[in-house]
């Protein structure tokens, strides 16, 4: 019935789009729109999918194909491990909806990316308005040159639509009587410290990448694994797909805050991270350089540096070096020794500029996985953030500048229970 109504509308107006050039023109109009302004990656994706739809109709576009041909991912790209394409497609759908609900409300051609598919669809609006791809001559021809029989068709169509609207309204009213009251997530209040601290990561054109640690292990999961040591494991097979409990819970906390802010995250394990990611995106690193080895490849912290203890009873443990101690601050921060249950840990929370100064990096790293978990909780908890922002003298997002800090973490039965800011440095921009 819907298809019949659409065909009747086209006949009534006498206006049918048959020229592919008009579809191309609509794509260019979209990419130049306010909705897609500044989002080069989404524009690139839209042009690619539109080209595929027009030149290869009926041929399914694969996720791997998009990743390698549009976003220049390596040939070992695995859609099961990297959701980047699905995230970008979801963002594009949202932007298309935003466009057609605002500046494109009267456009003659509607471009759609149906859910569960990467096949762009083009639809013709039944009543194009002048100035939206329709000449004034065409408009007057369709408005004044109708035959009486077309008015009959139009009446039938309008009657059908009216009946459908009345039926929908009836169902809606009946449903409202029995449906429970649900508060929309959009009305959810976001604590001011959360808004202030995370503003820079949620207002950019693309979601930030969360890079979580996955250290190099050797051995087997069923018989025992240990950290890779280059001197003795040169020819050993490396397992690089394990991470800590703290890293998992850190990602969960970040996802919770971003959903509160109505944004999404892109998540990638450290071994799959590339310098292109560092140059073109905001980044959130989870885990210390001893676990998240990618931190060794890019500019990292300067005031509080991770180092492995070389000798003594703590040999092999990770510590945080205080490069320029102030006041009564210690020169190093060490967690509970590794041969007893952890009761105390330390973690770095640092906000810095990336390789590309237009992008930012947030480093959340403990000397153990529990410290890493606490660091993520520190920046997703409004009370902890309120303390941090007060120490930084920050009242609004534009005042937040690069900084490095250390937090002391109390641990009980393997769970971080309390964190305290013990050292803070404001960095020069």
CB 378 within 8 A of CB 387: no
Q: Are residues 272 and 399 in the same domain?
A: yes
- Whole-number pLDDT of residue 149: 45
Q: Are residues 328 and 206 in the same domain?
A: yes
Q: Note the pTM of the prediction, 2 decimals.
A: 0.57
For residue 77, give its domain range. Answer: 2-144
Residue 185 lies in a domain: no
Q: Name the strand (E) or helix (H) holding 246.
A: helix 245-260
CB 43 within 8 A of CB 31: yes
- Whole-number pLDDT of residue 219: 85
What's the CA gap between 162 and 157, in Å, rounded?
A: 9
Q: Which residue's entry shows tokens 């509160």?
A: 260
Cβ atoms within 10 Å of 99's Cβ, excluding its own: 20
- Whole-number pLDDT of residue 126: 66
User: What backbone torsions phi and psi does residue 397 show, to the nearest 5 degrees?
Assistant: -55, -40
Tokens of 27: 């794509």
- Whole-number pLDDT of residue 127: 55
Q: Which residue's entry shows tokens 């051995």?
A: 219
Q: Are residues 202 and 133 in the same domain?
A: no
Q: Which residue's entry shows tokens 């292109």?
A: 276
What's the CA gap between 225 and 119, in Å, rounded?
A: 45
What's the CA gap between 398 and 394, in Å, rounded?
A: 8
Residue 180 lies in a domain: no
CB 225 within 8 A of CB 239: yes
- Whole-number pLDDT of residue 291: 66
Strands 224-227 and 283-286 come out as: unpaired
Residue 181 lies in a domain: no
- Whole-number pLDDT of residue 299: 60
Q: Could you say which of 77, 112, 144 is where a domain stops?
A: 144
- Whole-number pLDDT of residue 378: 97
What's the CA gap between 267 and 279, in Å, rounded?
A: 16
Exposure class string for 284-319: b at 16+ Cβ within 10 A, else e: bbbbbbbbbbbbeebebbebbbbeeeeeeebeebbb
Could you read off the pLDDT tens digit of each residue along the chain, which spans 429 residues?
Answer: 444 333 333 333 333 444 678 888 889 999 988 888 878 888 999 999 999 888 888 788 888 889 888 888 888 888 877 888 888 888 899 899 889 889 888 888 899 998 878 888 888 876 544 444 444 444 344 433 444 444 444 544 455 444 554 444 444 444 443 333 333 343 347 899 999 999 999 887 788 999 998 877 888 888 888 877 777 887 788 787 788 899 999 999 999 999 988 888 999 888 787 777 777 889 999 987 776 666 665 667 899 999 888 888 888 888 999 999 999 999 999 999 888 889 999 999 999 987 778 888 999 999 999 999 999 999 999 999 999 999 999 999 999 999 999 999 999 988 999 999 999 999 986
The number of distinct structural domains making up the chain is: 2
Q: Are residues 342 and 196 in the same domain?
A: yes
Q: Are residues 284 and 378 in the same domain?
A: yes
């Amino acid at each position: 019935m819907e298809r019949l109504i659409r065909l009747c509308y086209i006949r009534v107006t006498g206006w049918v789009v048959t020229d592919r050039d008009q579809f191309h023109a609509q794509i260019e109009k979209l990419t130049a729109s306010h909705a897609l302004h500044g989002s080069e990656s989404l524009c690139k994706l839209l042009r690619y999918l539109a080209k595929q739809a027009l030149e290869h109709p009926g041929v399914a576009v694969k996720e791997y194909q998009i990743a390698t041909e549009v976003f220049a991912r390596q040939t070992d790209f695995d859609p099961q491990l990297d959701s980047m394409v699905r995230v970008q497609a979801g963002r594009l759908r949202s932007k298309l909806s935003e466009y057609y609900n605002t500046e494109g409300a009267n456009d003659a051609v509607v471009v759609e990316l149906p859910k569960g598919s990467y096949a762009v669809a083009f639809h013709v609006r039944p009543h194009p308005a002048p100035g939206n791809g329709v000449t004034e001559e065409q408009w007057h021809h369709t408005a004044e040159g109708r035959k009486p029989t077309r008015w009959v068709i139009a009446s039938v169509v309008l009657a059908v639509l009216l009946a459908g609207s009345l039926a929908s309204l009836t169902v809606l009213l009946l449903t409202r009587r029995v449906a429970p009251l649900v508060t929309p997530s959009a009305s959810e209040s976001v604590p001011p410290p959360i808004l202030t601290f995370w503003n820079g990561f949620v207002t950019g054109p693309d979601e930030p990448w969360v890079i979580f640690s996955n250290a190099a292990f050797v051995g087997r999961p069923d018989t025992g694994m240990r950290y890779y040591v280059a001197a003795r494991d040169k020819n050993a097979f490396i397992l690089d797909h394990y991470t800590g409990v703290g890293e998992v819970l850190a990602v969960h906390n970040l996802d919770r805050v971003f959903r509160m802010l109505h944004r999404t995250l892109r998540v990638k394990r450290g071994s799959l991270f590339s310098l292109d990611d560092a140059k073109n995106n905001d980044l959130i690193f989870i885990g210390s350089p001893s676990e998240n080895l990618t931190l060794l490849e890019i500019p990292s912290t300067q005031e509080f540096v991770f180092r492995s203890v070389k000798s003594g009873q703590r040999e092999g443990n990770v510590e945080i070096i205080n490069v320029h101690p102030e006041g009564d601050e210690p020169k190093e921060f060490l967690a509970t020794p590794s041969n007893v249950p952890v009761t105390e840990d330390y973690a770095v929370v640092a906000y810095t500029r990336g390789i590309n100064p237009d992008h930012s990096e947030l480093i959340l790293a403990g000397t153990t996985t529990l410290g890493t978990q606490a660091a993520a909780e520190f920046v997703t908890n409004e009370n902890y953030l309120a303390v941090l922002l007060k120490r930084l003298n920050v009242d609004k997002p534009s005042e937040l500048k690069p900084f490095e800090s250390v937090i002391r973490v109390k641990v009980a039965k393997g769970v971080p229970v309390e964190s305290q800011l013990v050292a803070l440095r404001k960095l020069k921009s």
